[in-house]
Amino acid sequence: MSDYLAVVPIVCVWFGGVLALVAEAFRLPDEHLPMEGIAIGSLLTSGITAVLLWDRGAFSFGVVTADNFSLFVALVLVVVGILTVALSSQVVKRDGINAGEYYSLTLFAIGGMMLMAAAVDLLVIFIALEILSLSVYILTGMRRESKAGAEAAFKYFLLGGFSSAFFLYGVAFTFGIAGSTRLNEVVVVMSTLAGGRELLTYVALGLLLVGFAFKVSAVPFHMWTPDVYEGAPAVVTAFMSAGVKAAAFAAFVRVFMSAFGGLQPQWEPVIWMLSAASMIFGVVVGVVQRNVRRMLAYSSISHAGYMLMAMAAGNNTGKGAILFYLLTYALTSLGAFGVTALVATRDRTNDELSDYAGLSKRQPLLAFLMSIFLLSLGGFPPTAGFIGKWYLFSSAVSAGSFALAIIGVLTSVVSVFFYLRVVVMMYMTDETSTSPVTQPSSLSILALAVPLVATFYLGILPGRVLELAVESIATIL
């Protein structure tokens, strides 16, 4: 029976999603049900079970395992989910979004993310990827009256379908080579390139890489990111930027550093190029953006490049830095996009840079929070972004990838320009935008206060969390 414990955190989340759907189906027309309570309750239950399973060995339920790596990612996703629900409470009512559908899809997506991190079979990772993707496609077009949302959802669906096909073909080639899709069996075969299967191995690696690179928004598979981040409801964008990237990188790391770890000399140069291209492209294009959400979208592309830098390094410093940076980026990105959701109104997205002019006078608290989150994304001390980038760059230097580290430092310096441009617009411009903004509720402020505190805590006292990250990723290597 202990084997069933491996899926308990995931089942708790999906049970909450089913419960929200059933409650919505039987809700009377004028009846208000606490959908937020259902969502937060299921996420808290999942988080508690993950904590109880921590450091008790790897429970394995067939193709799903509950090791410290998957539990670390699950706890990150639980935090992201709870903060998303708290931010969404006000936005869902403001925008007239169906609460039952919204929260159930959010929970199904989080369950898919957890399954991606915990799966030890390529086919199960694919199934988890589709559960996650289908939920996020619908969430992207959740506002049916929004033409931009419908267009973004359609683009995401089409491009996501292509990337899923690449990934599935990669799984098929892997099965043809190894005779199995279980990671612990694949690693045995992939550790040696023999029997004339070397070319097929490279094909399998390439196809899987395309599937993962699409989900983490790495160049040149980033095309969907700016349009989807701009067209989706802002709170959904916050959820995607934090949750989807964390889950995709978790599965990426497990597959490539575990099952394909013996082939690191083969895939490391490709990861190096993806990292460099993502950092350069994300920063260069982000500089010219006048739309804040598109700017943050290109920022997310460059941050994917930073995390790929640690994968390319492949040393112990980089392996721990990946999980640590996943946590810091998820919280900071969620906070920044959360502010954009509150700056918007039902009738106006208020995404343009000019809409933030004089925000410090109209909403001083939102302006302060946005400034801190942007400074963290830019890597200013003593924020979590600075420490996270420090560990990532240190991993590249330790591995001898000086060129990649230099690219990372230079692009990080350039990115400061478009982060500070928003801060200058909020505090130092003589003009004041007349666009109305949403008055944040107490729950929304609390949801933004958590990443604010975490940003400074992880920036000043990162040691314990980094130690947990290193110990967690060691369980899959």
Cis peptide before 226 (omega within 30 of 0): no
Q: In the numeric block, which tokens belong to residue 353?
A: 């840079």
Q: How far apart are CA 129 and CA 126, in angstroms?
A: 5
Q: How far apart are CA 307 and CA 279, in angstroms?
A: 10
Cis peptide before 364 (omega within 30 of 0): no
Cβ–Cβ under 8 Å, residues 294 and 230: yes
- The tens-digit pLDDT sequence of the chain (477 residues) is 567 888 899 999 999 999 999 988 887 677 677 888 899 999 999 999 999 998 887 777 788 888 889 999 999 999 999 999 999 888 888 888 888 899 999 999 999 999 999 999 999 999 999 999 999 999 998 888 888 888 999 999 998 888 899 999 999 999 988 888 898 888 888 777 644 567 888 889 999 999 999 989 898 888 888 989 988 888 899 899 888 988 999 999 889 888 888 788 888 999 999 999 999 999 999 998 888 999 999 999 999 999 999 888 877 777 788 889 999 999 999 999 999 988 888 778 888 888 888 888 888 899 999 999 999 999 898 999 999 999 999 888 988 889 999 999 999 999 988 899 999 988 888 777 667 777 888 888 999 999 999 999 999 999 888 888 888 888 776
pLDDT at 404: 92
Q: How far apart are CA 295 and CA 312, in angstroms?
A: 26
Cβ–Cβ under 8 Å, residues 113 and 38: no
> How much is the pTM?
0.93
Q: Is 463 exposed, middle or buried (0-12, 13-18, 19+ CB in 10 A)?
A: exposed
pLDDT at 477: 66
The partner residues of 64 in beta bridges, in order of sequence, read: 61, 119
